Structures are given as C-alpha cells and as structure tokens.
C-alpha cells in the first residue's frame, strides 16, 4: 500500500491512556491503527479505530502491519506497569516492556517508520534527590518496572543515532482522570491505582481504602504524587507528533503538573466531591514506593507549548468520578 501520511499506529490503544489517545487522534482527523494483545486492555475502548490483536514483540505480525499501513508515527503505550508486580515478577517486565519494545523498534527500522513516541515513567528516576524533578535528574530506578523502561530509553538513544529514528519520550507522573464526557476512563482489573480505588469506595464497591504507609517523610506522613490528567497527557502526544513532523530532534520530557498531593489529600478531595465518608485503613508502606514524586515539566511547556487544561486535583477526581458512576450505571 502507498505511504499514508495521516496514519498513526497506537500500540496499547485498548488500554487506559492509549484509548484516550485513539479518541483524540481520531478527533484530529488522523487515521488510527490500534495494536493490542488485550492483556489489560478492552477492545471496545478503542472505539471504531482499525484494530489488530497481537503482541508488539511478534516480529512477523508487527512487520506485516507496519508494511500494510506505513504509519508516519508509532505511539507506544503497550506495557505492564505495576510497580509492585514488577518486584515479584521481574521477568514479565523485562520481557514485555524491554524485549518486546526492542522487537517493535526493529520492525520499525526494517519497515522505514521513523517517528516514535514512547510512554516512559517517573519511575525511571528512583528516589528523588530534589523536588520537583527535572529531566536532568539522575535516573536510578528502584524497581524492575522503572528499570525496564529506562533500558528502552537508553536503547532509543542508540537506535536514533544509528537508524535515523526520531523519538519523543514522555516520563509521565501519575496518570489520572477520565474523558470529560464520561464515556472513557480507567478500567484496570484488578485496579491498583489510588484515585479509582478511592472512588470505588465512594461508589460502594469497596469498604475502605488502604493507606500504604503513614510514616513517610512527608508533612502528613502519606506519600505525595503528581497527578496529571489523561487528556493532558494525550495533548502532549499531539504536540510531540507536530514536533517530529516538523523535523524536530529527539527529546525527553516530564509530564506532570508540578503539584504534589498526598494520599490523605486525595482521599479528602474525593470525600468533598462524592459526599461519601471514604473510610481508611492503615497498611504497611508498599515496597519500591518513593515518598515524594513531583514533576518539573517546564521543558514540555517551553519546547512543546504544552499547557495542561485540567491541572486541578478536584477536576481530575471529578472526571474520574463521573466515569465511575457511569460505569456502574448510576
């Protein structure tokens, strides 16, 4: 098939962040091809995008797909992404996140696809030396998940130099929220992320929220994170696509609001928004959990013109709550 300059392949497009990306690409008039093995995703979340079920690491499958669609860019959201699971099952993380991503990159090189946007993570930094963390912060991950992503970041530098690939790496802080129209949102089974779990308590699906550690070195003793709206993450990808299309160099950016919220503050905000008391149970701190992660995202703002629209924690929780209620048919 002749090269189609408006096609974007979204690996992991049936997942939480990828499905919002698919919707946004389509709204922007781009033909979107989803590749997903449905390990954690849901096919219907990808809407009416072209959908191919399979592994990004299946060389024959992915090469045939890239030859067929000749995308101008691959956006890569496909990964296993649970810090705790990565500690007990590191092989899954090295294989799925690193080995399979290298296979995807090899297929891109073979098929002449030159633009790549990669979902990395704040977990590549490890324990913060300073807060907020800029992109030049040392990268010393403290769990296999972060290591599996850092390995890809390192490989990308070498691939770009040798194979004329250009890429943008985004280090997301804590993705949260849902589509403002309430029709798309986070749907992990089992769910492990704080905000959807808190909202499952509010909607009566759970009796309490576990607070993982109340003696952390933070003002209220609970962990602090930088929650960033899923739609704002996706907007940054559109800007990255424009940068690459314009011939821009490869680059890495943090994506976060620069606002730290503690577990206690998240629970309190959710109480205000939902009107539910949200009981809390104190549990031990989770292994591999840094006490504070907050982004300095000045570089994305300066170089990409990224302006988060939904930075307020209350908006992020309100959108997630709308999704949670709709999902439960309320």
Ligand X SMILES: O=c1ccn([C@@H]2O[C@H](COP(=O)(O)OP(=O)(O)O[C@H]3O[C@H](CO)[C@@H](O)[C@H](O)[C@H]3O)[C@@H](O)[C@H]2O)c(=O)[nH]1
Sites of contact with ligand NAD (CB under 6 A): 12, 14-18, 35-41, 55-57, 77-79, 81, 96, 100, 119, 121, 172, 174-175, 188
Q: How far is the CB of 174 from ligand NAD (least distance, A)?
A: 5
Q: How far is the CB of 36 from ligand X (least distance, A)?
A: 17
Residue 290: left if φ>0, alpha if ψ -120 to 50, beta else—which one? beta
Of 212, 253, 306, 321, the residue at the interface with ligand X (CB under 6 A) is 212
Distance (Å, rounded) from C-alpha 172 to C-alpha 133?
Answer: 12
Catalytic sites, residue numbers: 145
Closest residue to ligand X, Cβ-based?
A: 223
Return the number of the residue (55 or 270) whose C-beta is nearest ligand NAD: 55
Tell me if residue 75 falls in helix, strand or coil: strand
Tell me if residue 170 falls in helix, strand or coil: strand
Q: How far is the CB of 119 from ligand X (least distance, A)?
A: 9
Distance (Å, rounded) from C-alpha 168 to C-alpha 184?
Answer: 25
Distance (Å, rounded) from C-alpha 167 to C-alpha 302?
Answer: 18
Tell me if residue 130 falls in helix, strand or coil: coil
Among the listed ranges 62-70, 105-113, 177-185, 186-194, the one in contact with ligand X (CB under 6 A) is 186-194
- Selection from ligand NAD, ligand X, none that 286 binds (CB < 5 to 8 A by kind) is ligand X
Distance (Å, rounded) from C-alpha 260 to C-alpha 266?
Answer: 10
- Can residue 85 be called a binding residue for ligand X (CB under 6 A)? no
Which residues inside 25-64 make contact with ligand X, applying CB under 6 A?
Answer: none
Dihedral over Cα of 102, 87, 229, 274: its sign: positive
| Beta strand residue intervals within 54-165, DSSP E | 73-76, 115-121
Of 8, 238, 293, 318, the residue at the interface with ligand X (CB under 6 A) is 293
Distance of CA 298 to the CA centre of its chain: 19
Give the helix ranges, DSSP H, for 43-82. Answer: 59-69
Strands 209-212 and 50-53: unpaired
Strands 227-229 and 115-121: unpaired
Of 67, 114, 193, 206, the residue at the interface with ligand X (CB under 6 A) is 193
Q: Are 51 and 10 in contact (CB under 8 A)?
A: no
- Selection from ligand X, ligand NAD, none that 34 binds (CB < 5 to 8 A by kind) is none
Return the number of the residue (61 or 163) whose C-beta is nearest ligand NAD: 61
Among the listed ranges 33-41, 47-55, 117-125, 151-159, the one in contact with ligand X (CB under 6 A) is 117-125
Among the listed ranges 4-12, 127-135, 181-189, 210-218, the one in contact with ligand X (CB under 6 A) is 210-218
Of 152, 197, 297, 313, the residue at the interface with ligand X (CB under 6 A) is 197
Q: How far is the CB of 145 from ligand X (least distance, A)?
A: 7
Return the number of the residue (52 or 271) whose C-beta is nearest ligand NAD: 52
Q: How far is the CB of 18 from ligand NAD (least distance, A)?
A: 6
Residue 213: left if φ>0, alpha if ψ -120 to 50, beta else—which one? left
């Amino acid at each position: 098939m002749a090269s189609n300059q408006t096609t974007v392949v979204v690996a992991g497009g049936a997942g939480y962040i990828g499905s919002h990306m698919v919707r946004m690409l389509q709204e922007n008039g781009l033909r979107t091809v989803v590749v997903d093995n449905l390990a954690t995703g849901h096919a219907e979340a990808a809407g009416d995008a072209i959908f191919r079920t399979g592994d990004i690491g299946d060389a024959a499958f992915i090469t045939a797909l890239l030859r067929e669609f000749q995308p101008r860019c691959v956006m890569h959201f496909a990964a296993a992404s649970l810090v705790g699971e990565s500690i007990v099952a590191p092989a899954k993380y090295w294989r799925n996140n690193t080995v399979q991503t290298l296979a995807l990159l090899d297929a891109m090189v073979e098929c002449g696809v030159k633009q790549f946007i990669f979902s990395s993570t704040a977990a590549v930094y490890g324990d913060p030396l300073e807060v907020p963390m800029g992109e030049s912060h040392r990268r010393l991950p403290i769990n296999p998940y972060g290591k599996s992503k850092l390995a890809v970041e390192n490989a990308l530098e070498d691939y770009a130099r040798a194979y004329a690939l250009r890429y943008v790496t985004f280090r997301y802080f804590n993705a949260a929220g849902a589509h403002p129209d309430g029709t798309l949102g986070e749907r992990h089974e089992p769910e492990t992320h704080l905000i959807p779990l808190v909202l499952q308590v509010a909607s009566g699906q759970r009796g309490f929220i576990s607070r993982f550690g109340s003696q952390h070195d933070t003002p209220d003793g609970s962990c602090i994170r930088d929650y960033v709206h899923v739609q704002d993450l996706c907007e940054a990808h559109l800007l990255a696509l424009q940068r690459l299309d314009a011939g821009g160099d490869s680059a890495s950016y943090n994506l976060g609001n620069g606002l730290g919220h503690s577990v206690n503050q998240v629970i309190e905000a959710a109480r205000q928004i939902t009107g539910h008391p949200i009981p809390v149970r104190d549990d031990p701190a989770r292994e591999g959990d840094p006490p504070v992660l907050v982004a300095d995202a000045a570089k994305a703002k300066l170089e990409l013109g990224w302006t988060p629209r939904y930075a307020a924690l209350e908006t992020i929780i309100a959108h997630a709550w709308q999704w949670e209620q709709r999902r439960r048919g309320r």
